[in-house]
Structure 1
């Protein structure tokens, strides 16, 4: 059971005929699933441009442009060298809050070699015709080179003050480093938009700690979003065998991995004997068994009035979309959606048209859209 802790291509927003799914009936709203775009190789993250066009990252190291109803054949040019290895590749994507003025696109990616790699963050200006990123510049690199291509994190979220959060992983076999503040493994970092360190980060003056660190004790964070009811930042992370978590992320706090966890090792042995410890935060929600969460968004659109303020989480191992009813800082109910389709959901976004958009994690991945069914 899942347990709550205390608490070629088609149009994006219209265009050529879309593949239409059957009606899905849920507790609060009925919907159809529209296939918006296909032919994407392991799409990972998406961002909507002001005119309704869309950028999508492919883990295989390509940035794609969906333009007025068509997936452009040529990828966006100008990306730096990207390591594509197991879970590593081109990952998270976000637009600068002032994109209409500066056209900055931010992206995270795996960098290095199979034997020495890390997560990196860079930005570039999208050309007026959308064909290239110009003036690409590195902003941040994890200060620990790890072996093998696992646990990169990679989600990007801009905060109201113009700074950004970048989620990271602990490199799998390096899990003990998540409790070590002298490197970035297993942390969420906060940066200014130019990659510099904000003066008020919690460890900016702490001896031996990396000044970019915002929170630590994480395993592999692949979802982050702002709760519109409270303004708090929520993030979810992969556990091992069980123990995926949703956490309320606060500066300077320790979220426990691997000292405390509700999961076990893949071979069935304990990771830790403790589920709680002084000075370590408890999750808002955890999953046993794991669903392998990826992507998350609070719904603030108008197409589904019944879902206002609800949290949506994609599931990879669970092959579904999960809706959570939220009251303030609590999750009060869970509903599993799209279980019959068998799609691994990599990203979830609330689109500018008020609909919910999904990316399916597949060699032939797609952009999907949930459309309301009006009685």
Structure 2
């Protein structure tokens, strides 16, 4: 880890610009009193869509003004502990049909998993909501749902899933979706070129397997690379480059230990399983992720930013040849759990803080 280069002062949050003469960036609170915000996506007209885990979707203007706040009627939405409304992404042909996809926990406390729905964005909310995918099997509990979405160049999408916490061995079972990343067409159907499509004993939707709880994924078009990260238990958080058909090891190979202190596996690496390109021990609890391609911060060009819940910060990872060469820990002065980080079309970074009084914060260069 490189020494943090920025000199940061402890600042109290307010609806005004947060800045200090010694900082190279400033933080502006655009919206507050959010209830566990989870994800953010930018619209072509400059507005933003923001999800709250409690089941609310908000449309905000570029300056944070609320245009609407609705509770979309998602089929069998489950709200409990980690379960709830999660990610939202624009369809590749959004300009023509205003289509979006939404991930959420669905079912009951004793029979649930991650679902994906399609919908149409209107001036006042959403219409034509349809569930297009439900991960299988249904399981009990309200933890480890994954839920992040990324579209690929061929207009298919990948949806990250979790191992359900109590079902970690199932991450190595190719017959189901627990502990997997799945690849779908935009209508929920299975792409014929999925790595295991048509293979007996394998769920056709699987794109990669051996994951614990993947809550960050990003496709870097210039680099033609799909990055994801996942939570370890006590340590063993991972940053991975995802390749179709690869096995990423959980729970056979991990640097983490169980919450009881017991060893999960004697292996940190295992033949035929893909190693992470970066990791964190102790755990930072990685959440959202983005790769910066903006112009406001030239020094950050091509860097990965990983939001962290437990560490209450954002990790800036500098890459060379798809390898992490240094890490810088940012925004610790907020002293808040960071749920999501997004790179805006205006070149700013946007943060969502994870609490029942969460905030949307814009990061721009200091004046």
Asked if TM exceeds 0.5, the reply is yes
Q: Show the counterpart of 1:43.
A: 37
Cα distance change, pair 97–24 in 1 and its aligned pair in 2 (3 A): farther
The answer to whether the Cα contact below 8 Å between 2:213 and 2:230 also exists between their aligned partners in 1 is yes
- 1:198 and 2:198 matched: no
Paired with 1:134 and 1:157, the residues of 2 have a C-alpha distance of: 22
Cα distance change, pair 77–184 in 1 and its aligned pair in 2 (3 A): closer
Quote how far apart the aligned CAs of 1:25 are: 5.5
Quote how far apart the aligned CAs of 1:37 are: 0.9
Q: Show the counterpart of 1:262.
A: 255
Q: 1:31 aligns with which of 25, 49, 66?
A: 25
Quote how far apart the aligned CAs of 1:76 are: 5.4
Quote how far apart the aligned CAs of 1:60 are: 0.4
SS in 2 for 1:340: helix
Q: Show the counterpart of 1:214.
A: 207
Q: 2:148 aligns with which of 126, 137, 155?
A: 155
Q: Where has structure 1 moved over 4 Å in runs of 4 or more? A: none
The answer to whether the Cα contact below 8 Å between 1:78 and 1:134 also exists between their aligned partners in 2 is no
The answer to whether the Cα contact below 8 Å between 1:76 and 1:133 also exists between their aligned partners in 2 is no
Paired with 1:74 and 1:264, the residues of 2 have a C-alpha distance of: 41
Q: 2:48 aligns with which of 48, 54, 62?
A: 54
Quote how far apart the aligned CAs of 1:22 are: 2.4
- 1:21 and 2:43 matched: no
Q: Show the counterpart of 1:132.
A: 125
Q: Deviations over 1:132-165 (max 9, x none)?
A: 2111111110111111100000000000110000
Cα distance change, pair 85–37 in 1 and its aligned pair in 2 (3 A): same
Cα distance change, pair 275–77 in 1 and its aligned pair in 2 (3 A): closer
- 1:168 and 2:161 matched: yes
Paired with 2:270 and 2:308, the residues of 1 have a C-alpha distance of: 28
Quote how far apart the aligned CAs of 1:21 are: 1.1
User: How many residues in Structure 1 have an aligned counterpart in Structure 2?
Assistant: 355
Quote how far apart the aligned CAs of 1:279 are: 0.6
Q: 2:59 aligns with which of 48, 56, 65?
A: 65
SS in 1 for 2:266: coil
- 1:299 and 2:292 matched: yes
The answer to whether the Cα contact below 8 Å between 1:96 and 1:104 also exists between their aligned partners in 2 is yes
Q: 1:79 aligns with which of 74, 77, 82?
A: 74
Paired with 2:100 and 2:340, the residues of 1 have a C-alpha distance of: 18
The answer to whether the Cα contact below 8 Å between 2:114 and 2:145 also exists between their aligned partners in 1 is yes
- 1:93 and 2:88 matched: yes
Q: 1:276 aligns with which of 247, 269, 279?
A: 269
Q: Show the counterpart of 1:319.
A: 312
Q: Show the counterpart of 1:9.
A: none
Q: 2:325 aligns with which of 309, 323, 332?
A: 332
The answer to whether the Cα contact below 8 Å between 2:75 and 2:106 also exists between their aligned partners in 1 is no
Q: 2:218 aligns with which of 212, 225, 232?
A: 225
Q: Deviations over 1:102-144 (max 9, x none)?
A: 10111100001111110000010011x1x12111111110111
Q: Which runs of 5+ in 2 are unaligned?
A: 3-13
Paired with 1:240 and 1:287, the residues of 2 have a C-alpha distance of: 11
Q: Deviations over 1:304-327 (max 9, x none)?
A: 111110110000000001111111
Q: Which runs of 5+ in 1 are unaligned?
A: 3-16
The answer to whether the Cα contact below 8 Å between 2:286 and 2:307 also exists between their aligned partners in 1 is yes
Paired with 1:157 and 1:24, the residues of 2 have a C-alpha distance of: 37
